Structure 1
Amino acid sequence: MKVSIITLQAVKNYGSVLQAFATQEKFKEYGLDVEIVNFVRKDCLKQNLMKTWIQKDNGIKRFLKIILLYPTLKRWERVFGGFLDKYLNLTKKIYTTEKDFIDSTPEADIYCTGSDQVWNTGWNKGIVPPLYLSYAPDNKKKIAFAASFGNEKLDKLEIKQIQKYLKRYDLISVRENSAVKILDEIGIKNSKNILDPTLIMDKNFWLKYIKNRMIKKDYLLIYQLNSNKNFDDYAKKLAKQKGLKLIRLCTRYDQILENGYPILIPSVEKFISLFYYASLVITDSFHGTAFSINLNRNFISIYPSQYGGRIEGILDLVGLQKRHLTNYSDFNMADKNIDYFKVNDILLKERMKVNNFLKLAIS
């Protein structure tokens, strides 16, 4: 039996490629022939990436930004593109427009909208019908696997546009409880809340991809996606207090100017390794939080100004709400023990829910 999965694997970041890989591997555990649709949003095409990043800039600022971003974009292509080529079973055809799907519809027994922020209209710059399986034949099973709206509420126009697509699904699972509420409110009943795919695969799975330790000294790892001076100052002071080397996992080359010794856009495997060997992690990233939890690390989460609900949701689920930093004068949080026996037990039970969902999906 073949399953065709559409997700956001082509977005150039660690969380996107890792959730796609984890989804693929989980479906393979059920003996399915898994194919990932090589869907690339128009703004993520190689020829459009630079335009996307500089679209709001003019004059000298635009020129300087091009010079600074060019090596970053080339490195992204090697790191993330290389990982996808190595680990994912992608379609040979690249799909971008709705016409691409009409002209060459992927063939499968089950069609699946994968995880990540596939239904986030802000992130995707509007409603993208193929991410709602608009192209899937009426007589084929359609499911959603840990999909996310990225928001806690939708506007009326958005609801009206997506209802017709969502009603075609046979089974829907979403990544946040808030998404279950959204679906209930718009008449899509019986959706399930399940883990993000990176958490569905347990610690032992990810250990297979760990590389040798890069930093010999004990270190505090910063994985920061949003500019925040308070975050930077806090991490610097905390590292000094704890006697830890301050390491910054940089997703762009210009981040070398921020606090901490920079690790510049490491391979995806080294990304996992940096979390695994860290004495302490400070992050404003959902997947940074997820990997800290899954690898049983000491960590502190700082909510970003937008989409912080995703981090709040996973902390609530595993009972680690107190790992959310609300006071930049609190330097004692890192000394408080995390009961990972309890956390791992919760994750094990949640993974059983995922297994039940998948058994139903492929039956």
Structure 2
Amino acid sequence: MKVDLITLHAVKNYGSVLQAFATQEKFKEYGCDVRILNYIRPDVTDENLMTTWCGNNLLKKIVLLPSFYRWKKIFGGFIRDYLNLSDKVFSNEDDFIDFQSDADIYCTGSDQVWNSGWNNGVIKPLYLNFAPENSRKFAYAASFGNSVLSENEVAQTKELIEKYDYISVREESGLGILEEQYMFKKSCQIIDPTLVMPASFWRKYTKKPKIDGDYVLVYQLNNNKLFDKFAAEFAKKNKLKLIRFCTRYDQIIKNGKSILIPEMFDFVSLIDNARYVITDSLHATAFSINLNTEPVCIYPQNYGSRIESLLNLFEIGSRHLKDYNDFDIVNRQIDFSKVNQILDRERIKVDAFLKMVLLEPKKSIEKWIK
């Protein structure tokens, strides 16, 4: 079976790229020939990325230029080597005019594909508006990134949503949006693709980091001085090295020993071998759960509900840091035997969904949802 998949694989973000890889590899388990449509949002193309980040600020461009080159090498190299991409590059809706494909089924992949704030508006190709009429369509752990949509956004996308055969979303809030705002019933909630693939899958690609002794890892996407102060004090109180996973070279000035824009699978390895992970990232949280590393989660100002949904699913809401003076969080340990039981349950759910969508498309979803 041939599957054409569209997702946010080209964003310079470790979690976004790894979820695309995980999706591809999961579909291959079902005998699928997967092609990821090489859709690159206009603002994240190599030509436009510097302007997206820096605007007309020349000094900022100079400071971030080395990071841009490193991103191109690390992310571009991984995407080239590990993802099966379409020959054609798509960067806007017009590029899909006269779209040609012999796929049996079309899929909107995971990540924040339906988050209009993150995507600078509604991107209709991410709703499969290019797929042939009456073709089979489904969504795999898609995310709106929000708990409610504006009436205008629903109006723009309702007709496209209704053309899906089945939709699975990543967050519980996404399920509410589909059922209450779109009145779409053929939907369910499943876990992020990175969680679908077990720890043993990820460890096939990793090597132990060259760090002597135990450490706490910081993976931070948003500037937050209180976050930085807490991380330093947390490491000190627990007599651990503070290791900072830096996604840009200029972050070297922050506290902790910096590891600067490492290879893709180092993201997994550094989390796997840490005693604790302090993060405001959904995917760093997901990998911590998957690899049984204790996370300390600081919700970002925007889209924090995504992490909240994940913690609630695994019944570990106590790992949300609500007070920067709460160093007792280290004593609220996670029962990973229970977490792993939930993971097993959720993976069975994913397999049931994929079996139905990919292998038994004529069967009704209703019985499975119940």
Q: Using structure 2 for the length normalisation, give the TM-score.
A: 0.95
Give, as a single letter, the amino acid of the residue that structure 1 aligns with 2:309.
Answer: G
- The match for 2:271 among 272, 275, 278 is 275
Q: 1:21-43 deviations in whole A, cap 9, x for unaligned?
A: 00001100000111101100111
List aligned pairs for 1:1-363, cutoff 5 A.
Answer: 1-55=1-55, 58=56, 62-185=57-180, 186-362=182-358, 363=360
Whether the 8 Å contact between 1:299 and 1:334 is mirrored in structure 2 is no
Q: 1:207-228 deviations in whole A, cap 9, x for unaligned?
A: 1111132211211100000111
Residue number in structure 1 paired with 2:366: none
Listed as ranges, the gaps of 5+ residues in structure 2 are 361-370
SS in 1 for 2:119: coil
SS in 1 for 2:134: coil
User: What is the deviation of 1:190?
Assistant: 2.6
SS in 2 for 1:94: strand
SS in 1 for 2:155: helix
User: What is the deviation of 1:102?
Assistant: 1.6
Whole-angstrom distance in 2 between the partners of 1:216 and 1:105: 53
Equivalent pairs counted in the alignment come to 358
Give, as a single letter, the amino acid of the residue that structure 2 aligns with 1:36.
Answer: I
Whole-angstrom distance in 2 between the partners of 1:214 and 1:28: 33
Give, as a single letter, the amino acid of the residue that structure 2 aligns with 1:111.
Answer: Y
Whole-angstrom distance in 2 between the partners of 1:76 and 1:51: 15
User: What is the deviation of 1:189?
Assistant: 1.2
SS in 1 for 2:347: helix
Q: CA RMSD in A?
A: 0.9
- Stretches of 4+ moved more than 2 A in 1? 103-107
SS in 1 for 2:35: strand
Q: Share of identical aligned residues, percent?
A: 56
Q: Using structure 1 for the length normalisation, give the TM-score.
A: 0.97
Whole-angstrom distance in 1 between the partners of 2:252 and 2:196: 33
Whether the 8 Å contact between 1:214 and 1:274 is mirrored in structure 2 is no
SS in 2 for 1:164: helix
Listed as ranges, the gaps of 5+ residues in structure 1 are none
Whether the 8 Å contact between 1:292 and 1:299 is mirrored in structure 2 is yes
Give, as a single letter, the amino acid of the residue that structure 1 aligns with 2:305.
Answer: G
Whole-angstrom distance in 2 between the partners of 1:108 and 1:252: 38
Whole-angstrom distance in 2 between the partners of 1:266 and 1:14: 10
Whole-angstrom distance in 2 between the partners of 1:64 and 1:22: 38
Whether the 8 Å contact between 2:99 and 2:130 is mirrored in structure 1 is no
Whether the 8 Å contact between 1:115 and 1:148 is mirrored in structure 2 is yes
User: What is the deviation of 1:106?
Assistant: 3.4
SS in 2 for 1:46: coil
Whole-angstrom distance in 2 between the partners of 1:213 and 1:159: 46
Whole-angstrom distance in 2 between the partners of 1:105 and 1:147: 24
Q: 1:298-348 deviations in whole A, cap 9, x for unaligned?
A: 221111111000000010000100000111111121133211000000011
Whole-angstrom distance in 2 between the partners of 1:139 and 1:187: 20
Whole-angstrom distance in 2 between the partners of 1:329 and 1:346: 31
Whole-angstrom distance in 1 between the partners of 2:332 and 2:152: 46
Whole-angstrom distance in 2 between the partners of 1:214 and 1:225: 23
